Structure 1
Amino acid sequence: MDINFTPILVTPVVPYEGGIRFLHRENQIDIGHNMTDKVWKILSLCNGYTNVSSIIKSSGLSKDDVMEILVELEDMELVVDSRHQFMHFHRISNYPSAINSDLTQDEVEAYTKSKRLPVKSGKVIQFDCDTSSTLFSIRKNRRSCRSFSERKMTVSQIGSICHFAYSIPDHSVPSGGALYPLRIYVLIESPQDGLEPGYYEYDAEQNRLI
Structure 2
Amino acid sequence: MRHRAVLTLAFLALPLAAQDITGGLYTGLSLPGGDLKDKSGWGTNQFFGVHVGGHLEFPIAPRQEIRAHLTYQSFPGSGWGGFENAQNDFKILQAGADWVYRFRSPNLGWYALAGASLNSVKNDWEYTDGAGIRRGGSYSQSGKLGARGGAGYIFNRNFSVEGTLNQVFVDKHGGDGFNFDTATWLQASAVFRFGR
TM-score over 0.5 for the pair? no
- Normalized per residue, the structure richer in strand is 2
* Larger Rg computed on CA atoms: 2
Q: TM-score, normalised by structure 1?
A: 0.21
Q: TM-score, normalised by structure 2?
A: 0.22
- Normalized per residue, the structure richer in helix is 1
